[in-house]
Amino acid sequence: MRVPGTTATRYLLAALALSCFLFLINLGGTDLWAPDEPRYAQVSKEMIDSGEYILPHLNNQVYSEKPPLFFWAIVLTSKVTGTVDSFSARFPAAVAGIATVALCFLLARRMFDPVTALLAAVILATNAEFLWRSRSAQIDTTLTLCTTAAIVAFYFWLNDRDGRRWPKLVAFYLFTVLAVLTKGPVGVIIPFLVALSFLFITRDREGRRAMHPIIGLVAGLALVLIWLVPAYLRGQGEYASTSILLKQTIGRFFGGYTHGRPIYYFFYKLPGALMPWALFLPLAIARGTKKANRSRDTLFLEVWTISVFIFFTLCKGKRTQYLDPILPAMAIYMANAIVATIRESGSLRSTRLLSYPIYIVGGAMIVFGVGGPLVLLSPVREYVEPAPVFLYSLAFVVTGAAILFSARKNLPVRTFASITAVAVVATALMAFYTNPRINQAKSVRGFCKPVADYVTDRPAKLLFYDLFRAQFILYSGTFGEIAETPQDVLDAGAGDEKVFFIMNEEHLDTFKAIPEFDRTFKLVHARQVGHRPLVLFTNSP
């Protein structure tokens, strides 16, 4: 399998160029979407507004759900751009995604060869899960970068026998510390789980001793305490120990205090997250079961994937992005299987496990392209324009046909380049067409505009009843309070202060039954935001 350009540097630059396009194109083209994006942006905004960078706050209250590293990254970007907005909030995740792709390439290059490294980087950059997270203001891509960097450093340390091994081990612990500062104790669990599992499976006692895990953990803890102790003291004990250690880690593992899912959740979620490359998983697994295809490097990738997968499967709390740290390992594993199969046989049709996924992807793109114009006959036709629909439909048909034609002619490079083109077309469609239209329904910016306009030069109180979302604070431009009872709402509205009041429409009958409510508040507007019908009221002080 030959690829034009013979140097690893050219392959790496190609992978980075692809990643930059996929992760950065029209990155700020939509507002920040609930639940996570506006919350993290608001925490970062409050850091800038208050000058308090050690102790995170949300809605002017101590925010102890996450450590500060990701917020610091948003703050840094926002200082450059001049404001906290969609682009500055998402840019750190995009950079983390690009850097993770580079690490994936470097590890695959060390393990195998430049061709496998290029395909591994492409698989990582273009799978649905990693692509989406790298374009979102979410913490998981940054965590994946830190854990991947730690694991890659460990691999290089373990396999380098020269006298300069120690900087790689130091890098392992430093990136583990950064992972902890990104998402708490899970940042140390993932790298150590992979490293120690591999050392025990390979019965490498010398490696376990040379790793100095106790010294490394103590030194890493000391670095974390440089931030944690001041945060704990500034929060007067409210921050850090209880929430991050107990609720975010132990609570998720044993109690599933949030996002509780059945034990089989990841078994059906992972294939969808890896699409379209999940179709090649059977090929990778089949090759991995044959002794002739196994090596120390493939074992390392298997330990990385399986150990982390089992850990999160046993956790009560589950979300698809929790598996993001294993995506680099899976990308390399699948790339090696694909490249090795083609090299051994010289054909894309040597096994159905390779040819069928290619035909399925190509056929699906043609079907999707041909069926695309049917959206103009659907109930959502008022939100779409014919010209872009036909343009993107044509692009999908062309890429699908290119996949099938290249596979038929046994042209591996063109085949996988065409599959990559699917991701390019899909990302352009998402960034410039689909998401901007979805944004009209998901964003609360328009809903909050009357509040934001009012508080530009005058103070006002923002109230919530049976509802609280950081997005309302971010796009209203003012802090909010939660009213526990309808009487709390009436008492606030009866005063001399301007009050805006937000609630779900389902509670409207309850308030309408109170005579004082209609005399105190008037409806500003009612609007569907996402799946929530919301109402906004204000008083006339």
The listed range with the strongest mean pLDDT (257-271, 348-362, 367-381, 428-442) is 348-362
Q: Report how far residue 432's alpha carbon sits from residue 7's, in angstroms, rounded to the nearest whole number.
A: 34
State the total domains in the chain: 3
Phi (first) and psi of residue 32, to 5 degrees: -80, 135
**Of 469, 510, 470, nearest to 489 (Cα)?**
510
Residues 6+ apart with CB under 8 A from 151: 172, 190, 191, 194, 195, 304
Which region among 249-263, 305-319, 503-517 has the lowest average model confidence (pLDDT)? 249-263
Phi (first) and psi of residue 240, to 5 degrees: 90, -80
CB 319 within 8 A of CB 133: no
Q: Are residues 80 and 19 in the same domain?
A: yes
Residue 416 lies in a domain: yes
Q: What is the pTM of this model?
A: 0.92
Q: Are residues 284 and 417 in the same domain?
A: no
**Of 12, 27, 65, nearest to 43 (Cα)?**
65
pLDDT at 179 (0 to 100): 96
Q: Which amino acid is at 28?
A: G
Q: Are residues 340 and 316 in the same domain?
A: yes
pLDDT at 1 (0 to 100): 46
Q: Please, which residues bridge with residue 293 across strands?
A: none
Q: In a 10 Å sphere around its CB, with 0-12 CB exposed, 13-18 middle and 19+ buried, how is residue 277 labelled?
A: buried
pLDDT at 240 (0 to 100): 54
Residue 31 lies in a domain: no
Rounded average pLDDT over 55-74: 92
pLDDT digits (tens, 9 = 90+) for 54-64: 999 999 998 88
Q: Are residues 285 and 413 in the same domain?
A: no
Phi (first) and psi of residue 119, to 5 degrees: -65, -40
Confidence of residue 459 (pLDDT cuts 50, 70, 90): confident
Decide if pLDDT at 106 tops 70: yes
**Of 237, 240, 264, 255, nearest to 64 (Cα)?**
240
Residue 325 lies in a domain: yes
pLDDT at 5 (0 to 100): 47
Q: Are residues 474 and 518 in the same domain?
A: yes
CB 357 within 8 A of CB 280: yes
Q: Which of 409, 425, 441 is the last residue of a domain?
A: 441
Confidence of residue 364 (pLDDT cuts 50, 70, 90): very high
User: Cα 348–351–352 angle (5° rounding)?
Assistant: 100
Residues 6+ apart with CB under 8 A from 361: 276, 279, 400, 403, 419, 422
Q: Report how far residue 433's alpha carbon sits from residue 435's, in angstroms, rounded to the nearest whole number.
A: 6
Q: In a 10 Å sphere around its CB, with 0-12 CB exposed, 13-18 middle and 19+ buried, how is residue 30 labelled?
A: buried
Decide if pLDDT at 255 tops 60: no
In the chain, count of helices (H) and strands (E)? 24, 7
Residue listed under structure tokens 């050219």: 10
pLDDT digits (tens, 9 = 90+) for 383-436: 677 877 888 889 889 999 999 999 999 999 999 999 999 999 889 888 988 888
Residue 437 lies in a domain: yes
Q: Are residues 19 and 143 in the same domain?
A: yes
Q: Report how far residue 125's alpha carbon sits from residue 250's, in angstroms, rounded to the nearest whole number.
A: 32
Domain around 529: 445-539
pLDDT at 466 (0 to 100): 84
Q: Report how far residue 11's alpha carbon sits from residue 500's, in angstroms, rounded to the nearest whole number.
A: 55
Which region among 49-63, 239-253, 280-294, 364-378 has the lowest average model confidence (pLDDT)? 239-253
Q: Is the dihedral of CA 280, 285, 291, 296 positive or negative?
A: positive
CATH of the domain at 462: 3.30.110
Q: Are residues 65 and 95 in the same domain?
A: yes
Q: Which of 344, 371, 395 is the last residue of a domain?
A: 344
Half-sphere exposure of residue 388, counting CA atoms within 13 Å on the CB side? 14
Neighbours of 352 (CB within 10 A): 11
pLDDT digits (tens, 9 = 90+) for 478-496: 999 898 888 988 888 888 8
Q: Which of 314, 344, 374 is the last residue of a domain?
A: 344
pLDDT at 4 (0 to 100): 47
Q: Which amino acid is at 390?
A: F
Mean pLDDT of the chain: 89
pLDDT digits (tens, 9 = 90+) for 205-248: 988 898 999 999 999 999 999 998 898 888 876 665 555 555 55
Q: Are residues 129 and 58 in the same domain?
A: yes
Residue 30 lies in a domain: no
Residues 6+ apart with CB under 8 A from 522: 537, 538, 539, 540
Distances (CA, A) of 317 to 132, 235, 251, 263, 322: 21, 27, 8, 10, 10
pLDDT at 252 (0 to 100): 57
pLDDT at 132 (0 to 100): 95
Q: Report how far residue 254's alpha carbon sits from residue 463's, in angstroms, rounded to the nearest whole number.
A: 35
Q: Are residues 182 and 205 in the same domain?
A: yes
Q: Are residues 298 and 398 in the same domain?
A: no
37: Cα separation from own chain's centroid? 10
Residue 29 lies in a domain: no
Q: Are residues 241 and 372 in the same domain?
A: no
pLDDT digits (tens, 9 = 90+) for 345-359: 888 888 899 999 999
Rounded average pLDDT over 92-103: 97
Residue 486 lies in a domain: yes
Cis peptide preceding 191, ω within 30 of 0: no
Neighbours of 267 (CB within 10 A): 11
pLDDT at 239 (0 to 100): 63
365: Cα separation from own chain's centroid? 25
Strands 532-539 and 521-529: antiparallel
Q: Please, which residues bridge with residue 538 across strands?
A: 500, 522
What do you get for the CA distance between the two ends of the chain, in Å? 75
Q: Are residues 323 and 426 in the same domain?
A: no
Residue 167 lies in a domain: yes
